[in-house]
Amino acid sequence: MFDTGTTGFMLLATSLVMLMTPGLAFFYGGLAGKRNILGIMMQSFVSMGITTIMWFVCGYSLCFSGDAMGGLIGNFDKAFMHGVNLNTPFAGNTKLPEFVFMAYQMMFAIITPALITGAFVNRVTFKSYILFLILWQVFVYYPFAHMVWGGGLLAKWGVLDFAGGIVVHATAGFAALASVIYVGKRRDKESPPNSIPLIAIGTGLLWFGWYGFNAGSALDVNAITGLAFVNTDVAASFAAIVWLILEWSQHRKPKFVGLLTGAVAGLATITPAAGFVSLPSAVIIGCAAGLVCYLAVNLKNKMGWDDALDVWGVHGIGGCLGTVLLGVFATKAMNPGGADGLISGGWHFFAKQCIAVVAACVYGFVFTYIMLALINKITPVKVTTADEDLGLDESLHGEKAYDEGVL
């Protein structure tokens, strides 16, 4: 009944996307100061547990079942996976069991709120983060996943997002900016990365997993799958080298962290366009990612926003840029199921992409700020000065990343 090749590929893609969350934990853990390694890593790993529970209970249903509130959200018809059995095909590709599609999309839901955590490293209590994780998914991630990928409002309007420029990166990036503004600055802003090799390991896992993130979003095994795979690698590579050159010219030394950060910016930026644009367009998108995200990080520094791990500049701006450039470079010649962008005469499509991404950013920012204020009435959002000085690993979790007496 089901195609074993397609099913096997999607299980592999699901595994790759799952690996991105530990990869993100390593990436953020390496960037954090040595007193806050475990705290930031735990925020990624705990999302794997809590989000999985939520996805089974109601998340999948709210994203991919029915249509409520004018297409803003789904319904509860498939809560607890009601009505889905071993022989239920996925409506979008009947060669694939719906259980597998559910698992694949669950990995996206897991990593999206975890992306935000890099912005407020060593400033947020664990209790408030748990509430943040739950509420942000219900009121931000689920509606946008439904509107774009679940046949909701934006999908009906003609908005495209191949693998998460709007749904994942734009919403998370601007939620990160709202979080930074709400919780304020760190007391020790000069805390250097504790382990650049750990950042490199995290980047490698993220880059590797991103092939499942983007190529898997074709939900099949065909030429579009291959296109998304190659576009992903090319954009990341060009962005990494552009960032390296820019930072080298400014600081007179080639920085390894800059190279790694540029690669992640390229990966985030190509995500919405990976299966809709040509390879030469992916090169342009990658170069634009390296330049624009680098400038965004510099702007963040000038504005005094203490986005510790550059979530807004890399993921937020990268997701927005990729979504807009999809509106420029998309062509049905590459993917008949896509659209023609501005270069191919599709100015209406370009306008829709711009409007959709702006709406996602504004909503993600405003809702997140209000939500943090409400959470703060239940439990303190920001850690105490004493806890921040001691480090969250010890003050909140009673653990240390390294036994310094042995080293």
Summary mean pLDDT of the chain? 96
Q: pLDDT at residue 407 above 70?
A: no
Question: What pLDDT is attached to residue 14?
Answer: 98
Please tell me the predicted confidence (pLDDT) of residue 91. Answer: 94
Q: Count of residues for the chain?
A: 407
Write out pLDDT tens, residues 375-388.
999 999 999 999 99
12 contacts: CB under 8 Å, gap ≥ 6? 212, 216
The answer to whether residue 403 is domain-embedded is: no
Taking only the tens place, the pLDDT of each residue in 14-49 is 999 999 999 999 999 999 988 999 999 999 999 999
Check whether 406 has a pLDDT greater than 70.
no
Average pLDDT over residues 108-134: 96
- Report the number of distinct structural domains present in the chain: 1
Query: From its phi and psi, is residue 339 left (phi > 0), alpha (psi between -120 and 50) or beta?
Result: beta
Residue 107 to residues 125, 201, 208, Cα–Cα distance (Å): 25, 20, 15
Structure tokens at 336: 């008949």
Tell me whether residue 156 is in a domain.
yes
Q: Is residue 190's pLDDT more than 80?
A: no
Task: Establish if 352 belongs to a structural domain.
Answer: yes
Over range 324-348, report the average pLDDT. Answer: 97
Q: Quick check: 318 and 242 in contact, CB under 8 A?
A: no
Residue 341's alpha-carbon distances to 59, 286, 349, 369, 378, in angstroms, are 32, 18, 6, 34, 46
Q: For residue 227, is it within any domain? A: yes
- The radius of gyration of the chain from alpha carbons, rounded to an integer in Å, stands at 20
What CATH number does the domain containing 218 carry?
1.10.3430.10
Nearest to 173 by CA among 353, 365, 371: 365
Is the residue at 176 inside a domain?
A: yes
pLDDT tens-digit profile of 245-279?
Answer: 999 999 999 999 999 999 999 999 999 999 999 99
User: Is residue 406 included in any domain, yes or no?
Assistant: no
CA distances from 102 to 47, 51, 80, 300 (A): 17, 13, 12, 37
**CA gap 309, 261 in Å, rounded:** 10
Contacts of 356 (CB under 8 A, 6+ apart): 148, 154, 157, 159, 166, 323
Question: Please, which residues have CB within 8 angstroms of residue 110's CB and are 6 or more apart in sequence?
Answer: 18, 21, 47, 48, 51, 52
Whether 403 has a pLDDT exceeding 90, the answer reads: no
In tens, the pLDDT along 344-393 reads 999 999 999 999 999 999 999 999 999 999 999 999 999 999 999 999 99
Alpha-carbon span 156 to 158, nearest angstrom: 5
Residue 405 lies in a domain: no
pLDDT digits (tens, 9 = 90+) for 131-151: 999 999 999 999 999 999 999
Please tell me whether residue 94 adopts helix, strand or coil conformation: strand
Quick check: 73 pLDDT over 60?
Answer: yes
Identify the residue whose tokens are 């680098």. Answer: 294
In-domain check, residue 110: yes
> Looking at residues 213-234, what average pLDDT do you find?
98
17: containing domain: 4-185+194-397
The answer to whether the CB of 13 falls within 8 A of the CB of 103 is: no
Alpha-carbon distance of 167 to 254, in angstroms, equals 33
Are 109 and 55 a contacting pair, CB within 8 Å?
Answer: yes
Long-range contacts (CB closer than 8 Å, 24 or more residues apart) made by 70-77:
70/153, 71/146, 71/147, 71/151, 71/152, 71/153, 71/156, 72/143, 72/146, 72/147, 72/152, 72/153, 73/142, 73/143, 73/146, 73/152, 74/142, 74/146, 74/150, 74/152
